[in-house]
Structure 1
Amino acid sequence: MGLKKLLFLISIFYITNAPAQNVAVKKPVLVGERIVQFIPEGFDKSKTPSLILKEEPRSKGTMPKDWSLIPGFVVNGNKASAYLKLSGDISLYGGGEVTGPLLRNGKLIKLWNTDTGAYGVEEGKRLYQSHPWVMGVRRDGTAFGIIFDTSWKSELYTNSDEIRLNTEGALFRVFIIDRESPQAVLKGLAELTGTIEMPPLWSLGYHQCRFSYGTEKRVLEIADTFRAKSIPCDVIWMDIDYMDGYRVFTFHPQNFPNPSALNNKLHNKGFRAVYMIDPGVKVDKNYSVYQSGSEKDIWVKKPDGTEYHGKVWPGDCAFPDFTSPKARKWWSGLYQDFLAKGIDGVWNDMNEPAINDSELPQEQRLGTMPYETMHKGGGNLPAGPHLLYHNAYGRLMVEASRDGIMAANPDKRPFLLTRANLLGGQRYAATWTGDNMASWEHLKLSVPMSITLGLSGQPFSGPDIGGFLNNTSGDLWANWLGFGVFMPFVRGHACAGTNDKEPWAFGEAIENTSRIALERRYRLIPYIYTLFQNAATTGIPVMAPVFFSNPKDLTLRNEEQAFLLGENLLVIPAFAKNPSLPSGIWEDLSLVGGDLQDKYQAKLKVRGGSIIPTGKIIQNTTENSFDPLTLVVCPDEQGNAVGKLYTDAGDGWGFKKGDYNLMTFSAKKDGNTISITMSAKDGNGKAENKIEKINAEVLLKGKIYKGTGTLKEGVQVHIQ
């Protein structure tokens, strides 16, 4: 053995077996209202760049004198950790996309984005996204949050006495938010990591997908059946079989010979079309995308400088190195001609990135690029190994995709869905909870998973309703859709080889149940759109845990069957057994004839003191939902209530120039009369062009009192 090799092995042994060393912290800096940044001595941005923050925070002074949440940092060899010691009775939440319960005390999450089809429901299963973030709620309802600002492969421990992140990489920064409520903490998270952009209105409707609707003819059959059966739907999805041999940005010459004509037909029927794009580009010298990428030298390279190839759907694939600005710009440019064919939205999948390495011995399989594979970086990103950039690969891909969609259709709001992402990636794409299964366990799991994503900065999420893998029964479908229509993202999806999972696929009775459920969703779109505007502005989730109604009520802390839609609507799925529900006034809400009698429909309850804006039943969002507008009023003990309604064009960017309406409606009781008026209005939109007649429904002690009026004059409802 040569001397150099011997010295190298000795150094590796020393690093690996070196004792853990505590690392001092530089002077903490206040970077927002009760948000403090902690930087360990020796932190180097060239080893751990931030891919989580929306921008570099600025100092706003020194740490408050009453601050008690001080993290510690440790280095063990070349692996850094950070921890926060806890005392008292604290409920822990967060960690993003994770299986297991809503309440995260005593749990472990492995943060390493992984293609985990048919994932189990056991606690801490490694999934497609990484959110190194934890929120703690104290007994008195005050709360704090901690961001571990790193994308290195990690493990996140949420023990009752300590929150700890152990990484396999270099030192990183920590940000701690300490505020008066969990909602205020989530606003702080949004201040650091950003919010979603306001989505197009159509994306809040129902989405129908299958792997795959294999021909243009079949796609149109699905669309026509929705309209013939009067089942509301806005979007049809194209999975990978629309492509020519799974080559991204191509179309199958026989099965999808004219995508422009197909999309135009869908548009004429009131549908939008979303198409999948994966990161793997087939290695084929006759394929223009591979040719172009090779000419521009944008592929990920192996340590020896040759192209890295991994097997995905097309076989051997090359992968864009999204750490490189040149590669991101090239990728963005591919969307110009693609979207010109009338495509409305994009689905980025397999972007962990997922690699099929099943031909390797079990102990050598990684499911992704080898850890030592280098990414070249550029701009504000340093060169670094896949061990650093793996968890950010999908996040960088959707940034590039979104840039390309914006450039291709600058006057439209992008809709982009991604499987892989990183904390902060909500700025670029919505998400779904991956390849779940048609099972009661996954049905129940879908509630805490989507709540937890909302508590981790991502308000636009939902599961594959009915379950993606395995056959779905009518009973399972109806139960899932019965509450799934009240989740932020609502899509039915099915894997190849499984039974049909459209709303009419299970017989006439379940078809009617499905119609009722989706009509309830569409009646609530004015309210849901208003919640999305609030999420885009503040970071407050659309779908929230029940304890948000009263953070001091300890009996609500681990409720994960029922959930809140906004502040004012309580959703209790039909499967829920003895859920813990908030105290106070909560009146039952009926939206569609027969919804209270249908055993599959979730129960809806309106909070006392609130007003819920609802529309009429429509088949898709191109129809005017506001003619008439119905205000559901649930008075408090004094007979008063308040609620908001946000409207704009539903697409485009006019709202950024004031072309919107944010209306506040107030209800006041005087004797036996409740008067409902528009008490305030922001924005320069012409609300009266959409809203002429107003109906009011006052829910009071189990009874409904009705009245009509106009936006200008208001409504008076007489109660007995």
Structure 2
Amino acid sequence: MDYMEGFRCFTWSKSHFPEPHRMVQELKEDGFKTVVIIDPGIKIDHDYWVYQEGIKNDYFCRRADGPLYKGTVWPGLCHFPDYTREEVRTWWAGLFKGLIQETGVKGVWNDMNEPAVFEIGTFPNDVRHHYDGDPGSHRKAHNIYGMQMARATYEGVKNFSYPDRPFTITRSGYAGVQRFASGWTGDNIASWDHLWLANIQCQRLSISGMSFIGSDIGGFIKSPDGELYIRWLQLGIFHPFCRTHSSGDHGDQEPWSFGEPYTALARKFIELRYQLLPYMYSTFWQYTTQGTPMLRPLAFVDQTDPDCYHRMAEFCLGDNLLVCPITQPGVDGRILYLPQGNWYNFWTGLMEAGKREVWADAPLDKVPMFIKAGAVVPFYPVQQYVGELAAPQVALHVYYNQGTCVSELYEDGGEGYGYTEGNFLHKVFRTEGSLTLFTLTQERKGDGQDGYRYYAIFIHGLQTHTAKIIVDEQEVTWENVAATNLIFVSVPNDFTLLQVIPSPIV
């Protein structure tokens, strides 16, 4: 909020940010996408244009006996728009033209929209709301106020971002808010208890329909030490909304703020998130088209296994990736439960049978992380920001299993609405394994174009030595990367059938 002129929403500080358009464009050239914060509190200031419009059109909330409600937030005394009125939402949406269309801001972060005020925490119960023609008190409207603000913000950002897609964040919401915004779990504390809580909250929000969720990595209030920060980052990189955020009152809290070895560890896990982006994007596509949560507690993964019902720490991101964060200080591993099937330890490459507890080594440079056997997991090369590599080649990490497994990779422009006209690629990979043959097939749907010509394929866990690999009836060269159970082969992006032929048993 420090970018504003005296905390007045939709303004820029003339002294601190005299050329906002130039600043935002220069940040864009360096790979940064600017997101600004907006609150519902409109400062009572007769020279402030947003206040003037709200007063002129009677857009602000009133008390039961008639006067406009006044509450104190960061600007001082404020009035608050009644977002439960359609005409107020339309007005609010139009206010974003300057920030989005003219200045070039890429997204908006709605804060304090529970709504929050300093006097008593939120509005008094007698504050009245239009409620889209079914008037009521704040007792009725409180839970939907923040969602209606997010809705109005979304409409404004969407209108003025076109032809790009909108990006919004909200601190408050209600059932259905996932249509309008991403979110985070609010003002947490830099403690191990709140790291544990962040894991549970995000899982439960995800299965409640709000998958685009995360927490303030490291804690908003107080300061973490290096160990707590890294362990929190190891959880946060698997959350769809991934952000370090703090109040700023307790010292720096950037990935490089804690010195070595923590800076190198932070870099390692941030880079891992960038590598996993095609997998996460595909999981996001599944969520938006099929309604499947991105973060899945074990009880969701296997509802037939009673041992999954009471496990809270473990969760799956999408179909094929299982994570169990470390939420205690000074430990170098933990016991976790693997659901049915076989699972590969991401760090060691060793396969573990499911439906049982296992021990996972996890010194500070590792987080317990397992890949479902049979899965195909796409990886990007490391990049410093999304879009740095115009067409990053995709590596496919393929995990051997006996039996059949289906995985998906969804790709589109990442921005814009071309996908609505067929400009996307939906790739379905099927693995099938036995002791005598392992196959990988690809089915491609959509009219999009690959930005790369080849897949770099890594096949993990083969049970026998490989004699040859055949791709679409042509034998190809391959490499043994590290051991007999990990091989590498480069194949055309439009291949349909890859066969791994094992060596004869002597």
**Cα distance in 2, alignment partners of residues 526 and 719 from structure 1:** 30
Q: How does 1:558-597 map to 2 (within 5 A)?
A: 558-575=310-327, 577-590=334-347
Aligned residues: 465
Q: Which amino acid aligns with 1:242?
A: Y
1:352 to 106, 114, 118: 114
Give 1:563 deviation, angstroms.
1.1
1:510 to 258, 262, 267: 262
**Cα distance in 2, alignment partners of residues 524 and 719 from structure 1:** 30
Give 1:574 deviation, angstroms.
3.2
Aligned to 2:378: 613
* Greater displacement, 410-419 / 607-616: 607-616
CA contact (8 A) 1:301 1:308 kept: yes
Q: Which amino acid aligns with 2:274?
A: Y
1:686 to 449, 454, 457: 449
CA contact (8 A) 1:628 1:695 kept: no
Matched, 1:463 2:210: no
CA contact (8 A) 2:61 2:129 kept: yes
Q: 1:692 to 1:625 in 2, by over 3 A?
A: farther
Q: Which amino acid aligns with 1:608?
A: A
Q: 1:328 to 1:627 in 2, by over 3 A?
A: closer
Q: Which amino acid aligns with 1:296?
A: N
What is the RMSD of the two structures over their aligned residues, measured on CA atoms? 2.1
CA contact (8 A) 2:199 2:235 kept: no
Q: TM-score, normalized by length of structure 2?
A: 0.88
Q: Deviations over 1:618-665 (max 9, x none)?
A: 111103486432111123323x43311000000111111111111011
**Cα distance in 2, alignment partners of residues 496 and 621 from structure 1:** 26
Aligned to 1:285: 46
Aligned to 1:664: 428
Give 1:410 deviation, angstroms.
2.3
Which secondary structure state, in structure 2, belongs to the residue aligned with residue 272 of structure 1?
A: coil
Q: Which amino acid aligns with 1:406?
A: K
Which secondary structure state, in structure 1, belongs to the residue aligned with residue 150 of structure 2?
A: helix
Which secondary structure state, in structure 2, belongs to the residue aligned with residue 241 of structure 1?
A: coil
CA contact (8 A) 2:455 2:492 kept: yes
Give 1:432 deviation, angstroms.
0.1
Aligned to 1:275: 36
* Residue segments in structure 1 that go unaligned for 5+ positions in a row: 1-239, 358-364
1:530 to 243, 268, 282: 282
**Cα distance in 1, alignment partners of residues 172 and 288 from structure 2:** 21
Which secondary structure state, in structure 1, belongs to the residue aligned with residue 486 of structure 2?
A: strand
**Cα distance in 1, alignment partners of residues 314 and 417 from structure 2:** 35
CA contact (8 A) 1:692 1:710 kept: yes
Q: 1:444 to 1:315 in 2, by over 3 A?
A: same
**Cα distance in 1, alignment partners of residues 422 and 220 from structure 2:** 41
Q: How does 1:351-370 map to 2 (within 5 A)?
A: 351-357=113-119, 365=120, 367-370=121-124
Give 1:717 deviation, angstroms.
4.5
Q: 1:330 to 1:433 in 2, by over 3 A?
A: same
Matched, 1:476 2:241: no
Q: How does 1:327-406 map to 2 (within 5 A)?
A: 327-339=88-100, 340-357=102-119, 365=120, 367-378=121-132, 381-406=133-158
Q: How does 1:417-496 map to 2 (within 5 A)?
A: 417-496=169-248
**Cα distance in 2, alignment partners of residues 441 and 692 from structure 1:** 45
Matched, 1:622 2:379: no
Q: How does 1:82-93 map to 2 (within 5 A)?
A: none
Which secondary structure state, in structure 2, belongs to the residue aligned with residue 517 of structure 1?
A: helix
Aligned to 2:470: none
**Cα distance in 2, alignment partners of residues 495 and 591 from structure 1:** 38
Aligned to 2:9: 248
Give 1:245 deviation, angstroms.
0.7
* Greater displacement, 579-588 / 346-355: 579-588
Give 1:616 deviation, angstroms.
1.2
Q: 1:242 to 1:627 in 2, by over 3 A?
A: closer
Give 1:569 deviation, angstroms.
0.7
Aligned to 1:710: 492
Aligned to 2:469: none
Give 1:377 deviation, angstroms.
3.7
Q: 1:452 to 1:543 in 2, by over 3 A?
A: same
**Cα distance in 2, alignment partners of residues 598 and 515 from structure 1:** 16
CA contact (8 A) 2:324 2:369 kept: yes
CA contact (8 A) 2:168 2:180 kept: yes
Give 1:603 deviation, angstroms.
2.2
2:272 to 511, 520, 529: 520
Give 1:673 deviation, angstroms.
5.1
Which secondary structure state, in structure 1, belongs to the residue aligned with residue 336 of structure 2?
A: coil
Aligned to 2:476: none
**Cα distance in 2, alignment partners of residues 299 and 502 from structure 1:** 38
CA contact (8 A) 1:627 1:693 kept: no
Q: Deviations over 1:664-685 (max 9, x none)?
A: 112334765533231x222111
Which secondary structure state, in structure 2, belongs to the residue aligned with residue 253 of structure 1?
A: coil
Which secondary structure state, in structure 2, belongs to the residue aligned with residue 633 of structure 1?
A: strand
**Cα distance in 2, alignment partners of residues 246 and 526 from structure 1:** 38
Give 1:427 deviation, angstroms.
0.7
Q: Deviations over 1:592-620 (max 9, x none)?
A: 9xxx9862421221112221111211111
**Cα distance in 2, alignment partners of residues 476 and 464 from structure 1:** 13
Q: 1:371 to 1:691 in 2, by over 3 A?
A: farther
**Cα distance in 1, alignment partners of residues 321 and 279 from structure 2:** 10
CA contact (8 A) 2:144 2:173 kept: yes
**Cα distance in 2, alignment partners of residues 414 and 256 from structure 1:** 24
Aligned to 1:313: 74
Calculate percent identity across the aligned residue pairs.
Answer: 35
Matched, 1:326 2:87: yes
Q: TM-score, normalized by length of structure 1?
A: 0.62
* Greater displacement, 312-321 / 401-410: 401-410
Q: 1:344 to 1:538 in 2, by over 3 A?
A: same
Which secondary structure state, in structure 2, belongs to the residue aligned with residue 298 of structure 1?
A: coil
* Residue segments in structure 2 that go unaligned for 5+ positions in a row: 328-332, 350-360, 464-482
Which secondary structure state, in structure 2, belongs to the residue aligned with residue 508 of structure 1?
A: coil
Q: Deviations over 1:130-167 (max 9, x none)?
A: xxxxxxxxxxxxxxxxxxxxxxxxxxxxxxxxxxxxxx
Q: How does 1:104-183 map to 2 (within 5 A)?
A: none
Q: Which amino acid aligns with 1:676?
A: L
Aligned to 2:416: 652
**Cα distance in 2, alignment partners of residues 587 and 622 from structure 1:** 31
Which secondary structure state, in structure 2, belongs to the residue aligned with residue 422 of structure 1?
A: coil
Q: Give the number of the structure with larger relative contact order, counting CA–CA contacts within 8 Å between residues 6 or more apart.
A: 1
Give 1:690 deviation, angstroms.
3.3
Q: Which amino acid aligns with 2:342?
A: I
